[in-house]
């Protein structure tokens, strides 16, 4: 299981290359440290007093001598309680070497040339100034070295995605060249392309979950950012459709989703619903947990798993558009694994409405072993076994690398996912 580090670092770091710090570095530090609201410590001419560091909300280091010993321990403690730390290259090299920025100098190496600077706030890494910074992911047994360069308009990276990517690279390449046949041996998947529910599908979902007398449905709305609304719209709709019991699971970390109460619900659930938003949030919470295994058990018992938009993409073995920085790119290293209810598949949504055809072509060119699926808004795939029924407003596009173009299948038709062809 990937460790729970989704929130990044607890405070903020300003890292600088050799030479004078970039003006943007100190300005950003000042904005984050808010010296008028807390206790600001500037280390310029002599080593700081440990008592000052114990109360500091911001520390800026300019001594040529790097922090070490008890002073370094005090800086680590300050960062852990949410302080902002920054300074010259002496500070930066210690920060990278001593674990203030997790996985730095081991699996991930940050190359800051003279005049370069970075801000790391939580999980966001931002380039400061105009001097490019290169982030290197070291070569492993399974993967060659990779480089990410922050320059020009590309000024952001996600720390959690980099850490996930670096750890993924220590394992056999994903997705593997040979994938399982797309099939749901038992139970049903309901996969909706966002933009509203097809008519009658909420009621049908309840029926697939056992009907009014038996349907116990877990609704997972956490693909949206906090604060979540007090009442979830889909949970309310399922209650109106007659489900016996509907419970929202709002945990966002592996620890909270594996709470005794959540696991007890999933052990008796007949249905699970994933809401819309950003699918990487589901991964941060559920990947490798006991809760994830129990969701697969829901299908094995003959239950139903469904979702719309983000809740569609999370169902595939390969997860499309997982980049925490935005949904524009269909391939997102570090966030490529879905929850795998439907093996061998990559699922994209809002497909025609957001003109995502070229993106899926790129994905299938990159990973020709996948079966790609692009689902239009207010349109759904209902999968039982290897048969996918299309229902709703418009159509679904299927991408097979062995065919010259996508197969566009209208509502009312069926598609054999194993044979990769329309069922006449």
Tens digit of pLDDT for each residue in 340-389? 999 999 999 999 999 999 999 999 999 999 999 999 999 999 999 999 99
Rounded alpha-carbon distances, angstroms, from residue 103 to 8, 84, 281, 416: 11, 19, 21, 44
Per-residue pLDDT at 6? 82
Give the pairing of strands 216-220 and 58-61. unpaired
Prior bond to 17 cis, omega within 30?
A: no
Rounded alpha-carbon distances, angstroms, from residue 398 to 345, 371, 383, 385, 410: 10, 7, 14, 17, 11
Rounded alpha-carbon distances, angstroms, from residue 313 to 93, 195, 303, 325: 40, 14, 19, 17
Calculate helix-pair angle for 201-208, 233-240, nearest 10 degrees. 70
Q: What is the DSSP letter of 387?
A: E
> What domains does the chain contain, in order, with CATH numbers?
12-168 (3.40.50.880), 184-423 (3.40.50.880)
* Cα separation, 390 vs 198, whole angstroms: 10
Per-residue pLDDT at 3? 43
Rounded alpha-carbon distances, angstroms, from residue 212 to 106, 208, 240, 387: 54, 10, 10, 26
Per-residue pLDDT at 266? 98
In the block, which residue shows the tokens 């090299």? 93
Quote the distance between the C-alpha of residue 201 and its chain's center: 28
Residues in the chain: 424
In the three-class reduction of DSSP (H, G, I as helix; E, B as strand; rest coil), residue 358 is classed as helix
Query: pLDDT tens digits, residue range 24-77?
Result: 999 999 999 887 688 999 999 999 999 999 999 999 999 999 999 999 999 999
Give the pairing of strands 342-348 and 371-375. parallel
All residue ranges of the chain with pLDDT < 50 are 1-3
Per-residue pLDDT at 341? 98
Q: Which two tokens stand for residue 167?
A: 């750890």
Per-residue pLDDT at 4? 54
């Amino acid at each position: 299981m990937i460790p729970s580090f989704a929130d990044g670092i607890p405070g903020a770091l300003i890292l600088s290359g050799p030479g004078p710090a970039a003006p943007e570095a100190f300005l950003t530090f000042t904005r984050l440290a808010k010296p008028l609201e807390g206790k600001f410590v500037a280390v310029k001419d002599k080593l700081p007093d440990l008592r000052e560091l114990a109360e500091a909300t911001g520390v800026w280091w300019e001594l040529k001598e790097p922090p070490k010993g008890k002073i370094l321990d005090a800086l680590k403690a300050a960062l852990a309680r949410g302080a902002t730390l920054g300074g010259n290259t002496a500070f930066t090299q210690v920060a990278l070497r001593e674990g203030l920025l997790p996985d730095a100098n081991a699996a991930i190496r940050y190359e800051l040339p003279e005049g370069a600077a970075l801000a790391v706030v939580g999980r966001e890494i931002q380039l400061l100034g105009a001097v490019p910074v290169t982030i290197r992911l070291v070569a492993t047994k399974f993967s060659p070295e990779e480089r990410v360069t922050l320059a020009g308009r590309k000024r952001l990276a996600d720390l959690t995605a980099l850490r996930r990517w670096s750890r993924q690279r220590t394992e056999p390449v994903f997705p593997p060249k040979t994938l399982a046949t797309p099939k749901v041996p038992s139970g049903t998947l309901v996969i909706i392309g966002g933009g509203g529910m097809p008519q009658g599908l909420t009621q049908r979902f309840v029926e697939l979950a056992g009907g009014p007398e038996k349907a116990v449905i877990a609704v997972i709305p956490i693909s949206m950012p906090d604060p979540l609304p007090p009442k979830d719209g889909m949970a309310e709709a399922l209650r109106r459709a007659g489900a016996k019991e509907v419970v929202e699971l709002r945990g966002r970390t592996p620890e909270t989703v594996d709470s005794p109460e959540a696991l007890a619900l999933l052990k008796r659930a007949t249905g699970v619903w994933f809401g819309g938003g950003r699918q990487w949030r589901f991964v941060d919470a559920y990947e490798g947990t006991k809760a994830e295994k129990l969701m697969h058990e829901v299908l094995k018992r003959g239950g139903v798993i469904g979702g719309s938009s983000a809740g569609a993409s999370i169902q595939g073995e390969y997860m499309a558009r997982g980049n925490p920085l935005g949904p524009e790119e269909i391939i997102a290293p570090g966030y490529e694994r879905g929850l795998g209810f439907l093996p061998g598949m990559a699922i994209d949504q809002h497909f025609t409405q957001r003109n995502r055809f070229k993106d899926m072509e790129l994905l299938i060119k990159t990973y020709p072993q996948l079966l790609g699926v692009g689902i239009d808004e207010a349109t759904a795939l209902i999968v039982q076994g290897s048969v996918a029924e299309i229902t709703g407003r418009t159509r679904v596009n299927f991408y097979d690398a062995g065919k010259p173009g996508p197969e566009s299948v209208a509502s009312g038709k069926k598609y054999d996912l194993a044979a990769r062809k329309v069922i006449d």
